[in-house]
């Protein structure tokens, strides 16, 4: 994958150099530039065809990939962010609040990675603390009270593994979210937009439907961690990724998720507006109104879904 990205970058540079040369010499190279641009577009499209699990993992971790806030800004209207878990602090790795999807008020919750190193440090690289999970649950319970659908964006390498997080009840906070989300009396849609790793992702993924972007991943832990535990050798991560079935396509085949959202040619980072339009269009097709009117059946289906999934995996 990295080799393909290098070839694309080199061709892009050649096209730009040819444009500058044509401008300097006042010559017409439009035909040549058009041929090269067609070839570039083809290379971008082919770059994400038949990607292996490890390729998709690398793609999902790219810093250029749109974040939760990028999608929230483009998919919803009038987003108002709410802060704090009302117990300890505001965790910046979780963003959440109220917005409108069309004419419907919704609660939006997302795991937020940084767009650069400074932001990543502030957001703890998207690794959520127990305070973040409790903030998310507070917003979910508020949504339940006012009958607002909940939409979660999942993008994390895993929950915060630090000593402070463990001291404040990391395991309990994740387990509490799982327990409460099963019985949450409002519709819930969770969308994996990048890397859905470990308990950090599971804590926002008990939903009526789980969707994944085409090149996102969703797993119980990272392939590096899997390889370290199973073989005591993290360098075998590529082999682990193949075994773990972490891609959207694998999980769709296993009936773990309900929908795979196609990404623009080259990946979501190549066309954030286009990807946002796909997410919005699919969300607008969800019959949230009917689901709210039949909430008893919706909650029962959600509970049954996870009981069946557990039995299937056993």
pLDDT, one tens digit for every residue, the chain (314 residues): 545 666 667 777 887 877 887 777 777 777 777 887 777 777 666 666 668 899 899 989 999 999 999 999 999 999 999 999 999 999 999 999 999 999 999 999 999 999 888 999 999 999 999 999 999 999 999 999 999 999 999 999 999 999 999 999 999 999 999 999 999 999 999 999 999 999 999 999 999 999 999 999 999 889 999 999 999 998 999 999 999 999 999 999 999 999 999 999 888 998 999 999 999 999 999 999 999 999 999 999 999 998 886 544 44
pLDDT tens track for 119-174: 999 999 999 999 999 999 999 999 999 999 999 999 999 999 999 999 999 999 99
Q: pLDDT digits over 28-65, tens only?
A: 777 777 887 777 777 666 666 668 899 899 989 999 99
pLDDT at site 309: 61
CA-to-CA separations, 178 to 140, 172, 200, 203, 212, in angstroms, rounded: 12, 10, 11, 6, 19
pLDDT at 313 (0 to 100): 47
SS3 string of the chain? Answer: CHHHHHHHHHHHHHHHHHHHHHHHHCCCCHHHHHHHHHHHHHHHHHHCCCCCHHHHHHHHCCCCCCCHHHHHHHHCEEEEECCCCCCCCCCCCEEEEEEEECCEEEEEEEECCCCCHHHHHHCHHHCCCHHHHHHHHHHHHHHHHCCCCEEEEEEECCCCCCHHHHHCCHHHHHHHHHHHHHCCCCCEEEEEEEEEEHHHHHCCCCCCEEEEECCCEEECCCHHHHHHHHHCCHHHHHHHHHHHCCEHHHHHHCCCCCEEECCCCCCHHHCHHHHHHHHHHHHHCCCHHHHHHCHHHHHHHHHHHHHHHHHHHC
CATH number for the domain formed by residue range(s) 55-313: 3.90.226.10
Residue 312 confidence (pLDDT): 44
pLDDT of residue 52: 87
């Amino acid at each position: 994958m990295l080799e393909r990205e290098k070839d694309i970058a080199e061709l892009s540079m050649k096209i730009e150099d040819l444009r500058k040369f044509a401008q300097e010499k006042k010559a017409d190279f439009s035909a040549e530039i058009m041929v090269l641009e067609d070839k570039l577009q083809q290379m971008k499209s082919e770059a994400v065809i038949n990607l292996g699990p490890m390729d998709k993992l690398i793609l999902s971790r790219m810093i250029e990939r749109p974040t939760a806030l990028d999608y929230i800004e483009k998919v919803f209207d009038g987003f108002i962010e709410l802060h704090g878990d009302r117990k300890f602090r505001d965790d910046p790795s979780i963003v959440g609040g109220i917005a409108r999807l069309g004419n419907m008020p919704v609660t939006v919750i997302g795991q937020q990675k940084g767009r650069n190193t400074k932001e990543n440090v502030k957001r703890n690289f998207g690794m959520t603390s127990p305070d973040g999970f409790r903030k998310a649950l507070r917003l979910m319970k508020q949504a339940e009270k006012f009958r607002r659908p909940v939409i979660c964006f999942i993008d994390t390498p895993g929950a915060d593994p630090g000593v402070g997080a463990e001291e404040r009840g990391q395991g309990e906070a994740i387990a509490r979210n799982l327990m409460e989300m099963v019985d949450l009396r409002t519709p819930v849609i969770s969308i994996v937009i990048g890397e859905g790793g470990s308990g950090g992702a599971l804590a926002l993924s008990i939903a009526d439907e789980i969707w994944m972007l085409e090149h996102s991943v969703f797993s119980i832990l990272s392939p590096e961690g899997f390889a370290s535990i199973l073989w005591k050798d993290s360098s075998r991560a590529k082999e682990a990724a193949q075994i773990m079935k972490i891609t959207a396509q694998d999980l769709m085949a296993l009936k773990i998720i309900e929908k795979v959202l196609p990404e623009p040619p080259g990946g979501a980072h190549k066309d954030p507006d286009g990807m946002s339009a796909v997410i919005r269009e699919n969300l607008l097709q969800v019959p949230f109104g009917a689901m709210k009117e039949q909430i008893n059946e919706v909650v029962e289906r959600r509970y049954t879904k996870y009981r069946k999934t557990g039995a299937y995996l056993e």
